[in-house]
Amino acid sequence: MNDNPNGISEDMQALLKKPGLLGVRVDRQSLIKHFFNGCAGITIITLFLIMWSLLRESTGFLPTYRWELSVYRQAGLEYADFIEKPLSEHLALHSKLNRAFNAELNTISRESKLRRDAAFLIKQQIEEKTVLQREPLQEALDAGNTPPEKITALRKTLTEATAAALGSEPLPKLFNESEKKSLTADLLGLQPDVTDMPPFIKSLMDKFIEQDKAGKEKYAAFISALDAFEEASEPITELHDGMKEQVLEVKKAATQQHMAEDAKFKLLEAARAAKTAEKREGFEKDAAQTDINPIDYKTNIDSLITKLPEYESLIPAYKDAVSKAMEGIPQKADTHEARELIDQVRKSFPKHLAHVDESVDHMKAWQWDKPIPLFRALTAFLFGGDWITNSSWQDFYGVIPLFTGSLLIAITALLIALPFSVAAAIYTNQFASPREQEIIKPFIEFIQAIPSVVLGFIGISVLGDLIKETSNIPWLQWIPGFPVQERLNMFNAGLLLALMAIPTMFSLAEDALQNVPRAFSEASEALGATKLQTVFRVIFPASISGVFAAMLLGLGRIIGETMVVLLVAGNRIAIPDFSDGIGAVFQPAHTLTGIIAQELGEVSRGSAHWQALFMVGILLFFISLLINFLSRKVVKRFQLPKI
């Protein structure tokens, strides 16, 4: 201390920083600082690791998918699909007509069918209940040497048991009193050795057969039209099947070739990395043995194209046949359902005919060797309307059906959750007494504690049936989409997701209202405003930025939720049919999150399907990022200026 190199007086030595360890100061203060710094750093590094792994797993997707699409084209699958399109339309039209026909037929035979089924059911129930008395009698009869008096006694016990069972089993209301009597007589006469149907039940059966026959006679024209419609496409279907077989062969060969190339590449890699010359030679030998013959796409395509004139020649006959069949469809259907279905078919029929003609144009314009650029794989992913996997024909990874599912569910959930949460927040913050606040807030926040799997249970077991039953109420039929066909649908999932989002949105909206300066409400009330006027004219507008942020964060939660949608949304991978307008929300759908959860466990690692699922993950990531970004913008835009 005495020799002072810097010429600083001893008193001032304390001012100098103490030397650190490797340039880092290690006193307590800086250690604490570095600890917090490190924590923040680890969080950021983890985020980057997640992004990196997502990108790594999915980078291969675009080239792989492009390769698959190019095989789809070069092997001629695309060519065959041009015919597939009108064929599947034909199938859809036919099934609609079939449904219409069944609806019509039901008007005649429905009641007799119901009566017959009810009688059968009661007979079966009685037989089940008296099985203990029936079996000994059966055995006695089978034995052949049983004394007749014993058989009589057994018969008596059986009749008594039947009577007792009948007493406990109410007869269906479909029958009137005298019919009930004859039914009872029939049932009492049930004995194991009588194989003929009892007379009354027999009459019911005959009645149904008769009416069914009558119905089929009445609608004979309809039936023949229906059959003609179905048969019209047969030649084309045959041709198409032939083409399919042919191109699938080529595709199979191409896939095998691809795998062989892959194997050879790997062997060569191994050879390069091998340590001893011996091993290397071995690898190289193996590689040389892997024979790779370039696939002769050209010959296949040439033979495929020769089918076009045949297809073209089949078209006029097909069009004639279906048009004629359409004329045979009754103009006036008796039931509402049939009328609607037939109307739909009539409406889309001209379009269908046009599509048939178009398919020929598409086939003529088609070039098998037109290369597929890389961005085409991306657009096919982002805007593709089919998500088809594990198909024997061709896999497609188009994300639109999943995206629309996610979006519709999110919109439904948001539209339900927003009014509830904002209204609850306004009430709690502005009108509720402190005691009420103490009750409401924890209760709403408690919803968050319900595990989403449990909510899924509720959706399946309670909400689904509730929605379906409500949709059958006659005076609610004006609601689009009613009656609902599926218990598990987007609306159901939306309702549950709304419930999940309400606590988040409620808390944030409540905070936003709380943050409005008291001075505003004081000024408003001093001007003679009522509480309600103050809330709606001053406080709510002033808190709008916070409410927006609450909404967007709720949306983020809804989009990212997986378990509920997987259980409740119905998991049908298809773009919803918007012909019913807003009623489309009552259809089942699959979602971006649900598909990952459902399929990722089952695909082989590194396959195109696997990579596609990671791409879906990235898409979700970007959607969340966008929502976050938007909420920041919105909050800034509507923020109150500071005074």
Partner 1 sequence: MVTAAPYEPKKKQIVDHLAPTAVDKTFNSKATAGEEGMISVRDMDFNYGAKRALHHIQMEIPSKQVTAFIGPSGCGKSTLLRCFNRINDRIQGAHIASGQVIIKGKNIYDKDVDTTSLRRQVGMVFQKYNPFPKSIYENVVYGLRISGVKKKADLNDACEYALKSAALWDECKDRLKQNAFGLSGGQMQRLCIARAIAVKPDILLMDEPCSALDPIATLKVEELILQLKEQFTVVIVTHNMQQARRVADLTAFMYLGELIEFADTLTIFSNPQQLKTEEYIRGQFS
Q: Residue ranges of the alpha helices (H) in 427-542? A: 434-446, 452-458, 464-471, 490-514, 518-526, 531-534, 540-542
Those residues whose C-beta lies under 8 Å from the C-beta of residue 362, and which sit 6 or more positions away, are 82
Which of 151, 223, 597, 640 is in the footprint of partner 1 by CB under 8 A?
640
Report d(CA 442, CA 452) in Å as an integer: 19
- Which of the stretches 76-84, 169-177, 516-524, 612-620 binds partner 1 when contact is defined by CB under 8 A? 516-524
What is the pattern of x (binds partner 1, CB under 8 A) and - over residues 540-579?
A: -xx-------------------------------------
Report d(CA 459, CA 289) in Å as an integer: 59
- In the chain, % helix, strand, coil (3-state, to 5) comes to 75, 0, 20
Q: Residue ranges of the alpha helices (H) in 538-607? A: 540-542, 544-560, 563-568, 592-599
- Which of the stretches 76-84, 141-149, 297-305, 526-534 binds partner 1 when contact is defined by CB under 8 A? 526-534
Those residues whose C-beta lies under 8 Å from the C-beta of residue 479, and which sit 6 or more positions away, are 471, 583
Question: CB 434 → partner 1: shortest distance, Å?
Answer: 8
By C-beta, is 28 or 642 nearer to partner 1?
A: 642
Question: CB 541 → partner 1: shortest distance, Å?
Answer: 7
By C-beta, is 547 or 623 nearer to partner 1?
A: 547
Restricting to residues 421-480, which ones interact with partner 1 according to CB under 8 A? 434
Q: Does 22 bind partner 1 (CB under 8 A)?
A: no
Report d(CA 388, CA 395) in Å as an integer: 5
DSSP state of 539: I
- Which of the stretches 55-63, 397-405, 530-538, 605-613 binds partner 1 when contact is defined by CB under 8 A? 530-538
The CA distances from residue 577 to 88, 350, 468, 560, 582, in Å, are 16, 20, 19, 24, 10
By C-beta, is 54 or 640 nearer to partner 1?
A: 640
Question: CB 9 → partner 1: shortest distance, Å?
Answer: 43
By C-beta, is 74 or 521 nearer to partner 1?
A: 521
Question: CB 543 → partner 1: shortest distance, Å?
Answer: 10
By C-beta, is 15 or 526 nearer to partner 1?
A: 526
By C-beta, is 32 or 523 nearer to partner 1?
A: 523
Those residues whose C-beta lies under 8 Å from the C-beta of residue 428, and which sit 6 or more positions away, are 436, 437, 440, 441, 506, 510
Question: CB 632 → partner 1: shortest distance, Å?
Answer: 20
Contact criterion met (CB below 8 Å) for 380 and 69: yes
Report d(CA 215, CA 104) in Å as an integer: 9
Work out the angle at residue 144's Cα, subtended by the Cα atoms of residues 141 and 148, and round it to the nearest 5 degrees: 70
Q: Does 513 bind partner 1 (CB under 8 A)?
A: no
Question: CB 424 → partner 1: shortest distance, Å?
Answer: 22
Q: Does 514 bind partner 1 (CB under 8 A)?
A: no
Residue that has been written with the tokens 């060519």 in this structure: 79
By C-beta, is 454 or 532 nearer to partner 1?
A: 532
Report d(CA 76, CA 366) in Å as an integer: 10
- Which of the stretches 50-58, 205-213, 217-225, 531-539 binds partner 1 when contact is defined by CB under 8 A? 531-539
Total residues in contact with partner 1, by rule CB under 8 A: 21
- Which of the stretches 10-18, 175-183, 490-498, 523-531 binds partner 1 when contact is defined by CB under 8 A? 523-531
Which of 164, 288, 527, 626 is in the footprint of partner 1 by CB under 8 A?
527
Residues making contact with partner 1 (CB under 8 A):
434, 517, 519-520, 522-530, 533, 537-538, 541-542, 640-641, 643
